[in-house]
Amino acid sequence: SYNKVNGTHACENSGLLNRDLKGVMGFNGFVMSDWGATHSTKAVTTGLDQDMPGGGVMGDKLFLATQLMVKYPVATDEAVVRILSVIYKLGLDKSSGCKPPKCLGAMMTSVRSKDHTELAARAARRSI
């Protein structure tokens, strides 16, 4: 996130990401930054797994990935495992690579499905 919590950018806040989100709340997915919200490569050690949109601070070039692996090997391995776990769990590794606008119809059908709209309405009611 772009915001700071107690003086630390949210996407680099170990207390929020590691202690609270992953520890207390038991979140086992991967954490992705807001676009352009990452401020240092050290963010990978504070619980951030993916810098968006890529090419930013953590970079999308192989040498930057290699630098991360050398400088923060355990944190980088953990981030890769979390990201790949979601990819394999959802079967995205077997996906045809469909991207909008080619998949717009399927995406809109899913987003507007009865289950999805009921879930969104329930979440909205509970948040008030």
Instruction: Tell me, yes or no, if 49 is annotated catalytic.
Output: no
- Residue in 34, 49, 60, 115 annotated catalytic: 34
* Rounded Cα–Cα distance for residues 83 and 117 (Å): 27
**Sequence-separated (6 or more) residues with CB below 8 Å from residue 58:** 38, 41, 43, 44, 51, 64, 68
34 within 8 A of 44, measured Cβ to Cβ: no
Beta bridge mates, 4: 9
The residues that are catalytic are 34
